[in-house]
Amino acid sequence: MKRHVLITGASIAGPALAWWLDRHGMAVTVVERAPSFRDGGQNIDVRGAGRKVVQRMGLEGAIRERTTHEEAIAFVDERNNVRARIGAEQFRGNGPVAELEILRGELARLLLDHSRGSAEYLFGDRIAALRDRGDKVEVRFERGDEREYDLVIVAEGIGSSTRAMQFGDEVRRVPLDLYIAYFAMPRGENDGAVSRWFNAPGGRSVFLRPDNLGTTRAALSLQEKPRGYEKLSQAEQKALLKERFADAGWETPRVLAALDEAKDFYFESIGQVKMPRWSKGRVALVGDAAYCASPVSGMGTSLALVGAYVLAGELARSDDHARAFAAYERIMRPYVGQAQDVPKAGPRIAQPQTRTGIALQQAALSLATRPVFSWIAGKLLSPPADKIDLPDYGQSASSASSAG
Ligand SMILES: Cc1cc2nc3c(=O)[nH]c(=O)nc-3n(C[C@H](O)[C@H](O)[C@H](O)COP(=O)(O)OP(=O)(O)OC[C@H]3O[C@@H](n4cnc5c(N)ncnc54)[C@H](O)[C@@H]3O)c2cc1C
């Protein structure tokens, strides 16, 4: 009998896992709470072992065709003078500008299209209740369906509700004292292939990045202790940003003017997820739901892809799910640990409170990016994307046959 696995969440980790589980001969259903494919999001990086996983899925070429073509990040002052610059070519493509950078929505769509034929997708629904019976998991969906599965894998991202049902107070979210709002806006005359990062005093930054779709991707960041802003309505969040950034200067007025029209507005309180375990009985976690490292790490998407690959591979290796979950955790924990090891002061360094702090930050960046310091800067600015020995579980896209 084929194992039947229910995956919840269809962004990055969920569809990648669906594809691999099917390759390893399992039956897969994916449930996504959004009513249809969820587009949106900004430039995300596919690095190191994450890149190897997409290669094994036969997707590297398609991702390359859709990269954002970001050439560099320039740190600019109010008059748009460049104070420091980090190029894509620096740090062997694994610095703040990654070699393989794609919009989240574009990657999610590629993964969905790649796995559609391998899995049953249910949009506009979610788990309302689940009971792990020991031999199966009974699931009741919000729309009323009741089904049972051999395993349930939660790929619902940082705020997962199914994780809360199964793991209760084991869930630990660690705030990084940073809010970020993302949205797309019309491309302006100064927007080119070089992203521009502008800091204003008071822990504020405005980041404008190119994309491959003819628009500019804006990110407004506020370095502040958690105050529950993520729970406000979207209109309230936009009003808050307009008030906080009103006197920021530079090109901020045009960014704020675009806020009202932004259809893909996405606002989050940046933090990490640290779970004492990633599985309980027949339910396991993958991607941000298990071990969100935050956008500050530059590793979220790579961790989601690698986690999906390892989890599927270990389930294929053993009929005993508990053994497979334990192996998945043993292999992934050190990799995740290194990715989550971002300095707690990172957001404060990236978004200084004072003009002096901003001047110091820009001077330090300008020094760090000189060739003479490139070795040490590489250590500080390159995420540990390769720090895992990726097992070979077979069934790659190039493999002659897939399990049926
Ligand atoms: C719309 C969107 C925009 C994003 N934009 C950025 C960005 O600009 N920069 C960045 O660094 N990261 C962004 N992220 C996060 C990034 O995708 C993840 O950090 C990373 O890729 C890991 O992906 P994941 O699949 O584990 O989780 P996520 O990408 O967070 O996906 C979780 C998925 O689960 C779904 N879901 C949630 N709860 C339930 C439920 N109860 N039942 C069923 N489905 C559920 C969500 O709708 C979502 O599709 C974004 C995520 C989303 C969903």
157 CA distance to ligand 1 middle (Å): 5
The pick from 122, 127, 156, 275 for probing ligand 1's pocket by mutation, whose C-beta has the most ligand atoms within 8 angstroms, reads: 156
Burial of 349 (0-12, 13-18, 19+ CB in 10 A): middle
- Name the pLDDT band for 158 (thresholds 50, 70, 90): very high
What burial letters (b/e) apply to 281-291, b meaning 16+ CB within 10 Å?
A: ebbbbbbbbbb
Q: What are phi and psi of 287, to 5 degrees?
A: 70, -155
Q: How far is the CA of 241 from the centre of ligand 1 (A)?
A: 22
Indicate which residue's Cα is closest to atom 49 of ligand 1: 11
Neighbours of 247 (CB within 10 A): 11
pLDDT per residue as tens digits for the range 187-199: 999 999 999 999 9
How far apart are the C-alpha atoms of 247 and 256, rounded to whole Å?
11
Give the Å distance between the CA of 87 and the centre of ligand 1. Answer: 28
- Counting from 1 in the atom list of ligand 1, the atom nearest the Cα of 10 is 49
Domain boundaries, the chain: 4-68+91-173+272-340
Rg (the chain; Cα; Å): 21
pLDDT for residue 352 is more than 60: yes
Residue 401 reports pLDDT greater than 70: no
The whole-number pLDDT of residue 297 equals 86
Give the pLDDT of residue 82: 94
Ligand 1 centre to CA of 108 (Å) is 9
Indicate which atom in ligand 1 lies nearest the CA of residue 264: 1
Residue 39 CA: which ligand 1 atom is closest?
1
User: By C-alpha distance, which of 156, 271, 268, 264 is closest to 211?
Assistant: 264
Given a cut of 60, is residue 43 above it in pLDDT?
yes
Sign of the alpha-carbon dihedral angle for 69, 213, 304, 160: positive
The CA 292 to ligand 1 mean position distance, Å, reads 10
Question: What fold is seen in the domain 4-68+91-173+272-340?
Answer: FAD/NAD(P)-binding domain (3.50.50)
Which of 163-177, 205-219, 384-398 is the least confident region?
384-398
Task: Say whether pLDDT at 336 is over 60.
Answer: yes
Taking residue 118's Cβ as centre, other Cβ atoms within 10 Å add up to 18
119: amino acid identity, one letter? A
**pLDDT value of residue 403:** 38
Pocket of ligand 1 (CB under 6 A): 8-14, 31-34, 38, 40-42, 44, 104, 126, 155-157, 160-162, 182, 266, 287-288, 295, 300-301, 304
| Phi/psi of residue 198, nearest 5 degrees | -120, 130
The first and second tokens of residue 28, run together, are 């897969």
